[in-house]
A and B are shown apart, each in its own frame.
Chain A
Amino acid sequence: MTDDVRELLERQARWQKSRKALSWSEKVRLAEAIRESILRLREAREPKSSESRAEPAPTRR
């Protein structure tokens, strides 16, 4: 492991530790933000109802 990688991991560990030390209400607010992101991602993945109901375009013969 290079010094750069070790330093990066140590910084990450410090950040994670500081996050754990936040108050419960602050951490709940973060969880709310995570939740909103998950819901938006789910919505983006699901096909829109208008798309799923759309009939195929008529073909010219």
Chain B
Amino acid sequence: MRELLTGNYAIAEAVRLCRVQLVAAYPITPQTPIYERLSDWESQGRLGGVMMRMESEHSAMAACISASLTGVRVFTATSSQGLALMHEMLHFASGNRAPIVMACVNRALAVPWAFGSDQTDTLSQRDTGWIQFYCEDNQEALDTVIQAYRVSEEVLLPSMVVIDGFFTSHFLEPVEVPDQSLVDQFLPPVDIPRRFDVEDPRYVANVVSPPQYFHFRQRSFRDMERAKAVIQEVDQGFKEVFGRGYGLIEAVDVEDAEVVLVTSGSIASTARVAIRSLRDRGERAGLLKIKTFRPFPSKKVRHVLRGVPKVAVVDRNISMGKEGIFCQELKAALYALDARPAVFGYIAGLGGTDVSPGVLEEIVIATLRKDEPEDVPVWIPGD
């Protein structure tokens, strides 16, 4: 059924459709409406699972981990400071191989205090061992939550489904809410290891030797690599059932492009408009949307950008002392090419500043005019 939903409510619909058995959550703007809607449904008897109203995000993730390891399907959602507070538990979740799915609604980290979208919160968790999906609109958010359970439960690694605060979380869009029967067909009832079995007692997560630690880490890495294929298979299967697919990345008009805009999240949807407008004016611009950030689809990225003369990366995030984080990752992926595109880094949209189609068009034009990228990114203040 087609409904007018915010990104937050689209995610809540997905959680219900996935028959999540336990939600442990804590309020934080701009994620809170997910928590509230799930609570409404619980009180109406429509959720099908139980809610744990936690006293912190740290404890929310702790409960998600132990419940997941016991063998039930769990969900939580957070933003910004809440995600930062969870940091210790994020490593714990992935190390324990708990297939948790968490919605992360990007919000600027303090200080200064701010509430608008900024990906530095989730990208700061890059090395916690979580799969990360960046969604560009409300439909993709809903669909990705459903896909994420399939992926996580297959590779036994947790997933973050990331949307932009307010631009995606609070804006209404028409969203196709799939039938429960179709979701049930795509996502079978949970069948994950039950780690605390009184008939087969194990000591989970106890102390290991240095070589054992090395070995466990290597296994997680191997399964994170395997996730690349699993994500594509799941996406293909999703497309067959629901008619929509996303891929690890998506390339638009790149074949003959002189400049390819590389971006993620809601800026990707704005970029589609900018690219069309530039094409209409005869500028050969293309778009590469990076949806899956971990595992990073290096091979796909190289394949798409091979032979492209210039790339402009627009980052709504910043690593102080270096540059935008997608820009770093992209450069690292392209290094294996003999003839590498020139990569131009732009910082835009921090703290929820607007990145309009006009801003993106200016970025493309500026990139066309430049010969060499600078060592530091160009800052685009925006509105």
Do A and B pair up? The answer is no
Report B's interface with A, CB cutoff 8 A: none
A→B interface (CB under 8 Å): none
